[in-house]
Structure formats: C-alpha cells, structure tokens
Structure 1
Amino acid sequence: MNAPVPILMYHSVARSPNAATRALSVAPEAFAEQMALLDGRGFTPVDTARLAAAWRSGGPLPDRPVLITFDDGYEGVHRYALPALAAYGFAATLFVSTGWIRGTYDAGGAPDTMLDWDQVRELADQRVEIGGHSHSHPQLDQITDAELRFELLRCREIIAAELGVRPVSFAYPYGYSSARVRRSVRAAGFAQSLAVGNGLARRRQGPYALQRVTVRGTTGIEEFKRLVDGRAIARTFARDRALTKGYAMVRRARQVRRKAIRSRV
C-alpha cells in the first residue's frame, strides 16, 4: 500500500510534432510499445484520483500500480494514445489547460493542435480521468493571488460545465508550485495535485506534491523499463535536476523583484 508508484508524465503523442513540442512528444509507435510493455509486465494503470484516495484512506491498490498522465491537452492523445489505452483497458489521467482546448474559451498561446471538447468528453467516457492544468498555462508561483485564483477556478468551472462533473485532480503547469500555490489548489476544490520531480511517487510526499517521471520522445524502451521499475532514475535525470535548481534561483529572484515592484505601486 505504501510502496512507491511510477507516475508517467506524457505531453504530445504525434507523428510530426512541431518545434515547440518535439522534445516532449512521443511517437505513436513508441507509445504503443510502452503500453504493451506495461501490460506484459503485469502493471495495472490507475487514475490519479484512485491513487490519492487509496493513499489517503489506506485502501487497497492493485498489484504493480502505475499512472499514465498527459499534460496540456494535445489532439494526439485522442488520435493516437486513446486506441493504445483502450486496447488494454488502461485507465489514465489527462490534465487540460482549458484555455488551450479548441472551443469557446480560447485563451490563445497553445503550442500545437489541441483537443476539442467533444474529444475530451470521448476520452472521459473511455476511463480517462480529466483533471485541471490551469486556464492559460502560466507559471503559477509567479503570478498574483488574484491571477492564481482565476486560473484555478476558471479551469475547474469550465471542466465542470463541459463534462458535468467537477475535476478533483490537478497538475502544476511546468511542474512549478509553492506553498502558496498548493494552498490555493486545495482551496479551489482539488483533492490532489501532481508535480514533476522525476522520481517515484510516495505517500509521504502528500497529496499536493506527488512526483512524476518524464517520458520524452528520446525515451527508448530499455530506458522506459528502468523508469517504471524505479531503477537509475536519479542518474537519468541528473542534468535536468541541476538545470532545475539553477533556474529555481533565477525564478525566486524574479518573484522577489515583482513583489517589491507591486509593494511600491
């Protein structure tokens, strides 16, 4: 029950990704091969809500649980990922930036072709939990309290209006959060939230800071095996962690400057 769980973080699944999404885009054939490996090795995909509920209550989880998650809401999740998931009856979670989904709420800035709401509803009908990922995909720890509240509530309201059910799971855009952001996510009505971290998820991380492992376009099947088994994760993402620490210092300095400017206005 308390064993670590791999939470896989995907973005785009596409044959011809554009420059903005190429690094994090997985080819449809690679995604299908990865799903076949999970099935062949006895993993049981669950969605985010089920994992968090089990860890919160002490309830049971299946043998070898794994989470398959997608961020942003790219059209290829419906076109390419859904058939592979459905072939094995796999559950998954899709975190949508509601202002990027094609339709009446367009906030602009989408980096590639996105899902429309009919496709989101079809995914929801096929064992894909729909979670929130903000409205316009900002760095949540870098915006004001009012902007943060808008991003969270607008996202939750739109999903509820389109699907008829309020989302209970959230994922931080870019993986960035802070104590203030986590409190706001909880106050907005989300019961759990995912970060990145590139490590296995553990119950002690708490429901608002569960770590995920990034799956990239360059992730080969042998590396994928190691990731889901929890082997050599630290070595695989050592460079990413070093860059993240350095960038975190830059972002904290920017945040301090913005607070100082606002205090003088």
Structure 2
Amino acid sequence: MGDAPAAPVPILMYHSIGGSDRLAVRPEAFAEQLAHLRDNGYTPITFGELAAGGPVPGRPVVITFDDGYADFHERALPLLEKFGFRATVFVTTGWIRDAGPYAAGRPLGPTLSWSQVAEIASCGIEVGGHGHSHAQLDQLSDAVLRTELLRSRRLLEDRVGRTVTTMAYPYGYSSARVRREVRAAGYDAACAVANALASGDGDRLAVPRVTVRAGTSLAGFERALRGRGFLADHALTKGYALLRRSRYAVRRLRGTV
C-alpha cells in the first residue's frame, strides 16, 4: 500500500454496536476497547489514509464498520468523538433507511438514513462502499457486478459530496475477477476479512481485517490487535474460498450467471 508503515497494521472490523446478533458488540465493551487503544498508544486513522501510503502515526490502527447500521450514529459515533478517534464506515447503499426507489436487499436491523450518512461524513468519519444490495459479489455475472459497484459509489458520492475510493466486500467474498471490476469502478483500495494484519506489500484490493465479535473479551481484543487467535477462522476461510470458486464455475457452465 505505497509507503506503508514498516509494522503490520490492525484493521478492526465491527458491524453493530448494541445489536443482538453474534457480531454485535455491546456499547460498554466497545468503550472498553477504545480505552484500551488509547491507553496503549494506538492512533486510529481511516482506511483511506492507510491505503494512501503516506506518513502515519507510530502505532496506527484502523476502526471499520460494515453495513451502515443506525446504531453507529446512535452509539458508536458519540464514543468515537469522546475519545477523539477516526473511523471508516462501509455503507450498503440499498439498505439505507430512506433509499426510496434504490432500496435493495434485506438489512438485518435498522439502518442509517442519508442525512445521518452525511452527518457522519461531516464529523471526519470516512464513508466507503459496501455494495448496493449486499450481494455476494463473487457469484454475480459481470454486468450485474458492475452495476452493483458503480451504483453504490455514485449514490454515496452524490449524497456525501466527496469522492469515494474505498470499499469493503460484503461477507468478505471476492475473487480476481471481482477485484478487476472494483478497480475499474474507481475504487483504489478494498477490505476483505482474512483475520490477519495489513502489511505494506499486500494487495490494495484485498486488505485483511480482524473481526471483533460480541464474545470478544478484552484479552481477545488484545490478541486480535496482534493478528492472533484466528486459527479456526483461517482454516474455514480457505476451505470455503475453494468451495465458492467451484460453485461459480459450475454456475457459469450452466449459464446461470
């Protein structure tokens, strides 16, 4: 990622703060994690700042949120502002509460409105793309994939009033074909999952993150900051990636994509 920092950087992946699913982190736990970052000398930057490859603080960390749930505005943003921390929110544009004729997909909980997205951006939070309908991008035909990527980016840029150059893959799924289309759609960098730390010599369109879940203890959070504690996740990810490539190949042979 350009002149990236010498040490690998943890990119934390959150979803909901205060929701009820297995990825939803309690507000109290989130506040404790932010305090841990502050007390241990971490400086949060946005994903775009890291991907740009310019100078970064001595101990950078990136805090990201997927999907665009309403509780980011209600619970996460006040805590981030309290600590003076920056973050990146990857928004699924078809899930926006007042998406109107552009509504697409089925959000798993209450989502942000367009006015809240604009307010978040005005607070120094980076807004990135997360697809339009939260589709599994690696299973889409080329034409549908292009529409999914371009519509998301154009809607965000129109509503936020600034260029959008970063995104995260829904479910973390991508492929070489998807990454080519992501670049063609105008994105400079994209987040996967992978549960590993980001290094300067990695693929800018498949930057790894580490998952923070509902059950992540403070000790587990510290291990995640060092890219540890994800052996089971790594094994499942590799096996499932092979299955998905095979599934897409079969669908292409049958002419269903």
TM-score interval (norm. to shorter): over 0.9
Find the residue that maps to 2:171 and give its secondary structure.
Answer: helix
> Equivalent residues in 2 for 1:31-70 (5 A)?
31-54=30-53, 59-70=54-65
Is it true that 1:146 corresponds to 2:150 in the alignment? no
Is it true that 1:187 corresponds to 2:184 in the alignment? yes
Return the alpha-carbon distance in structure 1 between the equivalents of residues 253 and 128 of structure 2: 34
Return the alpha-carbon distance in structure 2 between the equivalents of residues 177 and 165 of structure 1: 26
Structure 1 letter corresponding to 2:12: L
Return the alpha-carbon distance in structure 2 between the equivalents of residues 205 and 86 of structure 1: 31
> Equivalent residues in 2 for 1:1-265 (5 A)?
1-14=5-18, 16-17=19-20, 22-54=21-53, 59-103=54-98, 104=100, 105-228=102-225, 230=226, 233=228, 236-262=229-255
Return the alpha-carbon distance in structure 1 between the equivalents of residues 200 and 173 of structure 2: 20
Structure 2 letter corresponding to 1:8: L
Find the residue that maps to 2:88 and give its secondary structure.
Answer: strand
RMSD: 1.4
Structure 2 letter corresponding to 1:168: T
How far off is 1:34 after superposition? 0.5
Return the alpha-carbon distance in structure 2 between the equivalents of residues 148 and 242 of structure 1: 28
Contact 1:90 1:127 in 2 (8 A): no
Return the alpha-carbon distance in structure 2 between the equivalents of residues 204 and 246 of structure 1: 24
Unaligned runs of 5+ in 1: none
Contact 2:194 2:237 in 1 (8 A): no
How far off is 1:261 after superposition? 1.1
Find the residue that maps to 1:66 and give its secondary structure.
Answer: strand
Return the alpha-carbon distance in structure 2 between the equivalents of residues 197 and 38 of structure 1: 22
How far off is 1:5 after superposition? 0.3
How far off is 1:262 after superposition? 1.3
Find the residue that maps to 1:200 and give its secondary structure.
Answer: coil
How far off is 1:257 after superposition? 1.2
Return the alpha-carbon distance in structure 2 between the equivalents of residues 253 and 208 of structure 1: 22
Contact 2:196 2:208 in 1 (8 A): yes
Return the alpha-carbon distance in structure 2 between the equivalents of residues 242 and 199 of structure 1: 13
* TM-score, structure 2 normalization: 0.94
How far off is 1:84 after superposition? 0.8
Return the alpha-carbon distance in structure 1 between the equivalents of residues 205 and 238 of structure 2: 20
- Between the two proteins, the alignment pairs up a number of residues equal to 251
Structure 2 letter corresponding to 1:120: V
Structure 2 letter corresponding to 1:62: P
Return the alpha-carbon distance in structure 1 between the equivalents of residues 59 and 35 of structure 2: 15
Bigger mean CA deviation after superposition, 4-13 or 202-211: 202-211
Aligned-residue sequence identity (percent) comes to 53
Return the alpha-carbon distance in structure 1 between the equivalents of residues 52 and 55 of structure 2: 10
Contact 1:136 1:151 in 2 (8 A): yes
How far off is 1:41 after superposition? 0.9
Unaligned runs of 5+ in 2: none
How far off is 1:62 after superposition? 0.6
The C-alpha deviation readout for 1:167-222, integer Å capped at 9, x for no partner, is 11110111111111111111101111111100000011121111100000000111
The C-alpha deviation readout for 1:206-253, integer Å capped at 9, x for no partner, is 21111100000000111111221x16x1xx212222222222232122
Return the alpha-carbon distance in structure 2 between the equivalents of residues 2 and 65 of structure 1: 11
Contact 2:95 2:103 in 1 (8 A): yes
Contact 2:105 2:134 in 1 (8 A): no
